[in-house]
Structure 1
Amino acid sequence: MSQDLHETASEPSSASSSPLTCPLCAHVDLAVIFCNESCFHAGIMIHRKLGCAGEQGRSLVVQEGRETELYHLCTPGCQIAIDSARLRLRAVRLSDHDRIRAIKCDPLVNRSQLYGSPPPPFIFHMFTRRYIESLVPACRTGGGTAGRTSYVFAVEPRSEEVRPRRHAEAREHLDASGYIGNLGIDIECGSASLAPRVGEPFFYPSADDLDQAGAHASLYYELHPNFWGQGLMTELILAVLGFIFDTLLIPSVIVDPVSTNTASIRLAERLGFALVGGL
């Protein structure tokens, strides 16, 4: 069973060997496709219970404590990977949570982020779950009826050149075997006319449409202190700017570091960002 955005809605076929589509989801442009009639009858009830966008106004909700059901929605079509020379930006997984917690609880990281020092029991719902939900356009935190407005990537080394350098002040040390940070994109658009509409095929806006609507992307990012000072974030932002400009067609990008984060401010200046204001 797979889920992806479709430009046209289709009705279920009677042929047992042909793919079948949930007609309710297809009606709201989020087609859920079953491989054949047997698959359809075996899975349609759990689909209607857990993830039918047509029955939930195109806003999907996974109940607290049942987060593994997110994998029912996070199909390959929702997951994007971007590679740079040394790093990979990939979809966040539930198995990343312990490493996410280690970063979110680190005082060095806390001082450079607007979220401050989150209580450890709240980290799963504040961050891990929200990062995974951002993969699914119809999940509320992924955009709901506005379409996909958020991308949160896990940062993972793909080269042996990326090695942890134990930071003396880090609370918990991380190795290079998995998640070492994240990079997120939030998209804002001043025009509701570009959003998907129930019952109508959705076509991604053109670059001119997005420019006229004042669309822009905001970047946020963090790395565990063991991986600071290696030029990794410069490499990541350069890689993701290509995705924003060339794939998403967003005309402008904003970074908003806290005023005391001089390293992030210098990074933005090196990459050609212009200062437009401060608080």
Structure 2
Amino acid sequence: MLETFETERLILRERTMKDLEDCLRMDCEEEVVKYIPEVRELLNSPKSNPDKHIEFVKNRMETTYPNGLGYWTIESKVNNGEFIGWILLIPIDNIGPEVEIGWRLKRDYWGAGYATEAGNTILTYAFDTVDLENVVADIHPSNRGSIRVAEKLGFSVEESINESAGNYVRYSIYKR
């Protein structure tokens, strides 16, 4: 069971199957998945397959992550617990040893500092409670919004990665 956090505007709680429909709807926002090729392919390509998309999201929700790691649903304290998105802290590619942070928010919530607010909370937890030495974030080089969030959180560029799913820049942050 993951710890629940409250910030000034947000509640971060463990993501559960009750969040499935909200996650699926958010992924259908084309701009939200623009830089996530594996999801974009399941939804917006000639190979699109809604059933495989559901299976993909369910698999992520049902995976058992190492102690203290996983996905948190981000809810609005201001808008009666409305689903904003999610944030993760998991072993990269579910293997590790590196631990990655990532976030996905509904388009309506971009640009208001919610990802940074959630990210600060999860990074503090990662370093102070889970006792990680560093956290990485793999971000598509054209994803200016996520790059800005990473920079605000204190991440710096580590290396470029050329994977079959696309090119990414690895950002890192070390224990504060």
Q: TM-score, normalised by structure 2?
A: 0.76
**Two-structure CA RMSD over aligned residues (Å):** 2.2
C-alpha separation in 2, matches of 1:93 and 1:149: 15
Structure 1 distance, partners of 2:111, 2:101, is 20
Specify every segment of 5 or more residues in structure 1 that has no aligned partner in the other structure, as ranges.
Answer: 1-77, 134-140, 161-175, 189-213
The DSSP-based 3-state class of the residue aligned with 1:108 is coil
Q: Find the partner of 1:259 among 131, 134, 141.
A: 141
| Counterparts of 2:2 and 2:102, CA distance in 1 | 19
Match of 1:158 in 2: 77
CA deviation profile, 1:23-81 (whole Å, cap 9, x unmatched): xxxxxxxxxxxxxxxxxxxxxxxxxxxxxxxxxxxxxxxxxxxxxxxxxxxxxxx2421
CA–CA distance in structure 1, aligned partners of residues 2 and 152 of structure 2: 30
Instruction: State the aligned residue count.
Output: 151
- 1:113 aligns to 2:17 (yes or no): no
* Match in the other structure for 1:247: 129
Q: Per the alignment, in what secondary structure is the counterpart of residue 219 of structure 1?
A: strand
User: Which residue in 2 is equivalent to 1:186?
Assistant: 90
Instruction: Give the deviation of 1:268 after TM superposition.
Output: 1.3
Check whether the contact 2:68–2:130 (CA below 8 A) recurs between aligned residues.
Answer: no
Q: Is 1:276 paired with 2:158?
A: yes
Rounded Cα–Cα distance in structure 1 between residues aligned with 2:35 and 2:11: 23
- Kindly indicate which of the two structures has a greater share of residues assigned to strand: 2
Contact 1:105 1:120 in 2 (8 A): no
Partner of 1:237: 119
Contact 1:156/1:179 (CA < 8 Å) preserved in 2?
yes
Does residue 142 (structure 1) correspond to residue 142 (structure 2)? The answer is no
Which is higher, the Rg of structure 1 or of structure 2?
A: 1
The CA distance in 1 between the partners of 2:7 and 2:99, in whole Å, is 20
Q: Give the aligned partner of residue 89 of structure 1.
A: 12
CA contact (8 A) 1:99 1:179 kept: yes
Secondary structure of the corresponding residue to residue 276 of structure 1:
strand
Contact 1:186/1:217, CA 8 A, preserved across alignment: yes
Q: What is the alpha-carbon distance in structure 2 between the residues aligned to residue 185 and residue 236 of structure 1?
A: 11
2: distance between equivalents of 1:271 and 1:238? 6
How far did 1:129 drift?
4.6
Deviation per CA, 1:92-124: give whole Å up to 9, x if none: 232222211111111111103243322322233
